[in-house]
Structure 1
Amino acid sequence: MSEIDDQLQDNAATDQWETPLDLFLDPEAMLLGALMWAPDDYDAATRVCEVLTPNDFYNVSYGEIFSLIATRRDAGHPVDAASLQSAFHALGDTSPVPLSTARSMLLSIATLGAAPERLTAYADQVLGTSYRRQFQQMAGKLAHAAETAPEDQLFSIMVEHGKAQRRAWNRRQALKTHP
């Protein structure tokens, strides 16, 4: 091996920015990567940014990155990894994601190779998982209410939780029916 080959091999072995393999199975990361690579005038990206919210993301940092992407897309600003990192940096200490964390996450997400054409599918996966989490939380709250709430309030408590789940379901269906 040549000296250059040795150096390249050493650099590859110590590359701290290597994409973790589990990100390839993470629909949240894939969605963010696809949004970063989507053209500015891509209707599916606009639709996804209108329907999803940061609370749909299990990973809070991903939710913050999504929020920044949606805000910047809406304002007509670029959403590539370098621009997002600069935007987080500009926030200084008020950044919701520490710059060192944002840098490694953005680099990993941007290099996943997520296809913008799959945006709606990734968004549906994120919303589906979010819906299930909300359903689990609702079940826990209803179980708690069954133990502690006054009996004459039980039905109204159940109805309110049901309405919230219906709204979540309708958001998911809106994404599916209006690609």
Structure 2
Amino acid sequence: MITIIAAAGENNELGKDNDLVWHLPHDFKRFKQLTTGHFIIMGRKTFESFPKPLPNRTHVIITRNKDYTPKVPEGREQDVIVVHSLDAALLKASADKQPFVIGGGEIYKQSIEASDKIELTRVHSTFDADTFFPEIDQSQWEKISEVRHDKDEKHSFAFTYETWVRK
């Protein structure tokens, strides 16, 4: 089962200048809880937005650059795999029963047809962004759960965890 995991604003905004446009600590905790121990598939820019590889996950980086060598701390090389297509990424991640596609926008667009589930954090505001999540076609997807989190002292925006499965 291939799962897309993302956080997007009301107009499907993902981020700007290769960064998130909000800070939601509970969403980070949920992302960590769901993806730890799994393969995470991402584009090069998403990988490079991390200060270092995320712990306890195998990173599958998609890039068109055949000469790309990611910067990886010594001893973490086995946690990073570079491939040159979504198909190659899915093949590498097939060792995991639950790989996650974690972005960015272009990788989400490419992978939505191959995915079985979407874990979407819908951030209840609009944002200035340059990267967007694809529209969820409700003729192909069904929302099976939603859990709202109101704005509070740690979260500047209300948000809802939405789980979608392919019909």
TM-score (norm 2): 0.29
**Greater gyration radius:** 1
The structure with higher relative contact order (CA 8 Å, sep 6+) is 2
Which of the pair is proportionally richer in strand? 2
TM-score (norm 1): 0.28
Which of the pair is proportionally richer in helix? 1
